[in-house]
Amino acid sequence: MLVDDAVALVPSIPGRRALLGLVGAPAAGKSTLARRLVAGVDERLGAGTAAYVPMDGFHLANAQLDRLDLRDRKGAPETFDVDGYVVLLGRIRAERTRPVYAPDFDRRVDEPLAAALVVPPGTGLVVTEGNYLADDGPGWSQVRDLLDELWYVDTPRRLREQRLLRRHIRGGRTPEEAHDFIAASERPNARRIEASRAHCTRVVDPRG
């Protein structure tokens, strides 16, 4: 059971902290699995033992994407503040006496939210997830060195794209616009992410 493996990552020495990364293609179920692992660890070891910090909080704001003419590529590696994400992971590893605040992403408004999440001082395991944690691109290659383990979340393409279609329609796109965005952006991103799985510690089924 994946919760058992997450519990095993929690350091036995007080004051120590481990970071677990989950990587996978869009709509693979990374955020759902991350939240399940955090809840499972807290249930076993006590509330506040684990915390969740998604990479999606480092999406560039839509205003920046418009300035860079990248709105139609939203979700690609260049549409994230990777340097900010790397700095945050470093702070999470180093800071154990004060809370560390982190951004989240609100799908309802399709924008990041500053300081919406917190890693309390006593947290022993931080679960982070995102598309490019195993990527070799500029900035992204630093992420792996900050993680204790990196799991690749493997979900069939057909299921992922069904989820993406529903997600984009809920977000305001027409079915045709959603299909076009998946073909033009989500699939190329997925291929890049799949090519990075060799850098991961293990491959997991999010339903496991």
For 155-171, write each residue's pLDDT tens digit. 999 999 999 999 999 88
Number of domains in the chain: 1
Helices (H) and strands (E) in the chain, counts: 7, 7
Whole-number pLDDT of residue 208: 64
For 58-75, write each residue's pLDDT tens digit. 999 999 999 999 998 898
Nearest to 117 by CA among 132, 130, 106, 131: 106
pTM, rounded to two decimals: 0.92
Domain hosting residue 88, numbered range: 2-204
For 80-131, write each residue's pLDDT tens digit. 999 999 999 999 999 889 999 999 999 888 899 999 999 999 999 999 999 9
Whole-number pLDDT of residue 4: 96
Whole-number pLDDT of residue 15: 81
Confidence of residue 32 (pLDDT cuts 50, 70, 90): very high
Pairing of strands 111-119, 100-106: antiparallel
Confidence of residue 207 (pLDDT cuts 50, 70, 90): confident
How far CA 173 is from CA of 38, 90, 100, 166, 177, in Å, comes to 32, 37, 35, 10, 6
Residue whose structure tokens are 């076009």: 180
Looking at residue 92, which CATH number applies to its domain? Answer: 3.40.50.300
